[in-house]
């Protein structure tokens, strides 16, 4: 008798798949990705620039057997709305992330902090420290003395914000500028691991309105420096369990920016990877293994 495959009884597990959803928060349509059981410990994933929740597309299903993972697109990014009157800055995004977490009933969560997501997620952590079960830090800068050489252009503009300087930043918000963000600093042998989808799919979503928002965020990084001591104080005083996974091939956030966290988190676990700013693309298996081990001990 021939065996037949009944798809209803196969190894198919919906919880391991990434679901693509939207939610309205104060009338703003927010797109988000979700994976994992609804009753599992939560991992909240605020994204970086110039990406969106797309950057977590492979990480999420790799942990979804034990954790519930949620990654929203900020307004002005990815598939979320770009509403007029929204506070397009790190404070506004942190407030949005807080409202997103509340709308989904997330009482406690681990935070995966990367790039802009570090600034946004740490603001949320300061506002509601009781909700933070753990941190995973990956190429996010909060130590001014360890900012990498790529900050020099921004610093020059902050010191002398001319129209010509702003035009250069505006020109960097381009398809080629996006490509450079993803592959411009890593070893050539790693470039082939970076899918062109990261910039080819992001660029068509970049309207002129959104380009203005992106430039405004770059300008806002100057004021963001004033938050660095507050982030450090939060880490030093609260000492959340922390895993640091870092790609040192990063002109904004080199190896020193990773080691600096140990000043305030001496018990943190630090792992320097053979990669750069977008280590989830080049070092995914390592980060997944380290994250599973870490979260299994502190947020299970």
What the block records as the tokens of 283 is: 């070092």
Question: Model confidence over 216-234: pLDDT tens digits?
Answer: 999 999 999 999 999 999 9
- Long-range contacts from 218-226, C-beta under 8 angstroms, 24+ separation: 218/154, 218/169, 219/157, 219/158, 219/161, 219/166, 219/169, 220/89, 220/90, 221/154, 222/154, 222/158, 224/90, 224/119, 225/144
Q: Which helix (H) or strand (E) holds 273?
A: none
- pLDDT for res 14: 63
The separation between the first and the last C-alpha atoms of the chain, rounded to the nearest angstrom, is: 45
- pLDDT for res 10: 40
Which are the contacts of 59, defined by CB distance < 8 A and separation ≥ 6? Answer: 45, 69, 112, 280, 284, 287, 288, 291
At residue 196, the 3 state secondary structure works out as: coil
- pLDDT for res 179: 97
Best CA proximity match to 75, nearest among 65, 66, 85:
85
Q: Alpha-carbon torsion 105, 34, 286, 143, what sign?
A: negative
Residues of the chain with pLDDT under 50: 1-11
Report the predicted TM-score, pTM, of the whole model to 2 decimal places: 0.94
At residue 20, the 3 state secondary structure works out as: strand
For 88-100, b/e burial (b = at least 16 CB within 10 A) is: bbbbbbbbbbbeb
The CATH homologous superfamily for domain 19-150+227-298 is Alpha/Beta hydrolase fold, catalytic domain (3.40.50.1820)
- Angle, alpha carbons 118-229-264 (nearest 5°): 80
- pLDDT for res 9: 42
Taken as a whole, the chain contains a residue count of 300
**What ranges do the domains of the chain cover?**
19-150+227-298
* Cis amide prior to 50 (ω within 30 degrees): yes
Q: In angstroms, how far is CA 108 from the centroid of its own chain?
A: 18
What distance in Å separates the CA atoms of residue 2 and residue 69, rounded to the nearest whole number? 40
Q: In angstroms, how far is CA 103 from the centroid of its own chain?
A: 20
DSSP assignment of 60-121 equals HHHHTTT-EEEEEPPTTSTTS---TT---SHHHHHHHHHHHHHHTT--SEEEEE-THHHHHH
Question: Model confidence over 93-140: pLDDT tens digits?
Answer: 999 999 999 999 999 999 999 999 999 999 999 999 999 999 999 999
DSSP assignment of 212-248 equals HHHHHHHHHHHHHGGGHHHHHHHHHHH---EEEEE-S
């Amino acid at each position: 008798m021939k065996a037949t495959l009944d798809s209803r009884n196969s190894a198919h597990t919906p919880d391991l798949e990434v679901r693509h959803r939207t939610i309205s928060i104060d009338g703003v349509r927010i797109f988000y990705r979700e994976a994992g059981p609804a009753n599992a410990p939560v991992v909240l994933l605020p994204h970086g620039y110039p990406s969106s929740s797309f950057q977590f597309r492979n990480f999420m299903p790799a942990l979804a057997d034990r954790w519930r993972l949620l990654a929203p697109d900020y307004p002005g990014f990815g598939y979320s709305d770009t509403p007029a009157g929204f506070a397009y800055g790190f404070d506004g995004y942190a407030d949005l992330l807080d409202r997103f977490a509340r709308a989904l009933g997330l009482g406690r969560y681990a935070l995966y902090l990367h790039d802009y997501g570090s600034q946004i997620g740490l603001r949320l952590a300061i506002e509601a420290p009781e909700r933070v079960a753990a941190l995973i830090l990956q190429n996010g800068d909060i130590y001014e003395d360890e900012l990498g050489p790529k900050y020099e252009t921004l610093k020059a503009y902050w010191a002398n914000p001319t129209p010509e300087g702003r035009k250069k930043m505006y020109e960097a918000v381009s398809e080629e500028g996006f490509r450079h963000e993803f592959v411009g600093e890593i070893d050539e042998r790693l470039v082939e691991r970076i899918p062109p989808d990261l910039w080819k799919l992001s660029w068509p979503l970049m309207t002129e309105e959104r380009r203005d928002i992106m430039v405004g965020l770059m300008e806002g990084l100057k004021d963001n420096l004033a938050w660095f001591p507050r982030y450090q104080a939060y880490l030093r005083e609260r000492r959340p369990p922390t895993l640091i996974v870092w790609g040192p091939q990063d002109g904004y956030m080199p190896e020193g920016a990773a080691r600096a966290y140990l000043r305030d988190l001496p018990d943190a676990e630090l792992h320097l990877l053979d990669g750069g700013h977008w280590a989830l693309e080049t070092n995914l298996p390592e980060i997944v293994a380290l994250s599973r081990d870490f979260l299994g001990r502190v947020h299970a």
